[in-house]
Amino acid sequence: MSDEFLHGVRVTEITETLRTLTVSSTSVIGLVATAEDADETTFPLNKPTLLTGITSAVIAKAGTKGTLARALDGILDITNTKVIVIRVAESEDDSQMKANVIGGVDENGNYTGLKAFLVAQALTGVKPRIFAIPKYDSQDVTAELLTVAKKLNGFVYASCYGCQTKEQAVTYRRQFSQRELMLIFGDFLSFNSTTKQTETDYAVVRAVAMRAYQDQVQGWHTAISNKELTGVTGVTNPLSFDINDAATDVNYLNEQGITCCINYNGYKFWGVRTCSTDKTFLYENQTRTAQVLKDTIAQSFDWAMDKNISVPLVKEIVEAINAKWRYWTAEGKLVGGKAFVKAEFNTAETLKDAKLLIGYDYCAAPLLEQLEFNQYVSDEYLVELADEITKVGS
């Protein structure tokens, strides 16, 4: 009640509806590509460019040289989604090309190369979440991309760069330990209508496209493995594979945490593991779940800042989290989860310092990586057969 005098009627509006949590789009692709003949207005060098959708007009402006047009076309084969494109200059010198892709900060304070992803949200209003750099994702480049992806709470799909054999791929895999990375051995093939030839179709492009598609249709709790890919006609590195045989090239690589490009009832990825050394985030969907939940919590409670700490405020925050967790559990994206307040972290001293700590737990939906059946030979059915035989002619 206000202390201000009023000889009349005062109506105060009070909102007591449950606040919902904000979930940002998880299917935004971050792509670094080359295209010397691209339209410079549409695709300026070293500047994050937001494509709200991929159209034939956009692909036409991507030119015919470099990796950009083919990458956009490859994504569109699978899904149409938002893409943050950073076009970098092409160079025949490997060291210079690597420097162009990695980038840094120029004399005017502008970020260049993949480092420009750090300012993509500020410039476009959209944050990239799944990253790929077709053709140029060397070990140095992938390491730098991972530092950026980690800051943006994103996920990287990268090739086993330069590896020709499965043994080389495993050695390469040992250079990484990040949960934000899935390594892919081999690439696909597809027809290039510009050159009129069948050429390499970089697998990392198909990976981010399938990841975006899965996010849009099924959810971020799924894997890109064993999903049929459209638009490809072959693989660059044929590997032995049998779904019920452990002694194959693909199974060997999968066990080492490397995803493969295969032709098994259609072209697809086979492999669900990240490069994480922490088994909590061994699988792609475990990392993605953790990232989405972290982002959701971080961006959903700005409304609570600078309010007075009170029991109703704490209840509102806790119930908002629990409501979203219940919803995701019903959808199958989580097995379960809840928010809670622990007394030892919220004492008179911490409250006096204007600090409140709320905890929450969750359980990611598990993937089925290995399915086993027991096959038994049984004679019990012969007894039934014998009984039926004795009835013949009686």
pLDDT surpassing 70 at residue 230: yes
**Chain position carrying tokens 């060397």:** 138
In a domain, residue 10? The reply is no
- Examine the domain organization and report whether 200 and 314 are in the same domain: no
How many domains is the chain built from?
Answer: 2
pLDDT tens column, 25-73: 899 999 999 999 999 999 999 999 999 999 999 999 999 999 999 999 9
Average pLDDT of the segment spanning 370-386: 94
Q: Could you tell me if 137 and 280 lie in one domain?
A: yes
The reply to whether 11 falls in a domain is: no
Residues 162 and 55 in one domain: yes
Q: Which domain, by its residues, includes 366?
A: 310-394
Cα–Cα distances (Å) from 248 to 65, 105, 172, 357, in that order, read 38, 46, 19, 50
Q: Which two tokens stand for residue 213?
A: 């598609």
**Contact between residue 23 and residue 56 where contact means Cβ atoms under 8 Å apart:** no
**Do 187 and 109 share a domain, yes or no?**
yes
User: For helices 68-78 and 203-217, what crossing angle results, to 10°?
Assistant: 30
pLDDT above 70: residue 2: no
Residue 302 within any structural domain of the chain? no
Beta bridge partner(s), residue 337: 362
Rounded distance between C-alpha atoms, residue 366 and residue 363, angstroms: 9
pLDDT averaged over every residue in the chain: 95
Are 326 and 393 part of one and the same domain? yes
Taking 70 as the threshold, does the pLDDT of residue 392 lie above it? Answer: yes
Q: Are residues 314 and 266 in the same domain?
A: no
Which of 218, 253, 286 delimits the end of a domain? 286
The answer to whether residue 129 is domain-embedded is yes
Query: Strands of 49-51's sheet, edge to edge?
Result: 49-51, 83-88, 29-34, 130-132, 155-159, 181-185, 258-263, 267-270
> Is 259 found in the same domain as 316?
no
pLDDT of residue 19: 75
pLDDT digit string, tens, across residues 173-215: 999 999 999 999 999 999 999 999 999 999 999 999 999 999 9
**Residue 173 forms part of a structural domain:** yes
What CATH number does the domain containing 47 carry? 3.40.50.11780
Residue 300 lies in a domain: no
Domain boundary among 252, 271, 286: 286
235 and 319 fall within a common domain? no
Residue 1 lies in a domain: no
Does pTM surpass 0.85? Answer: yes
Residues 262 and 223 in one domain: yes
pLDDT of 145 strictly over 60:
yes
Among the candidates 235, 254, 286, a domain finishes at: 286
Residues 344, 260: one domain? no
Whether the pLDDT of residue 1 is over 60: the answer is: no
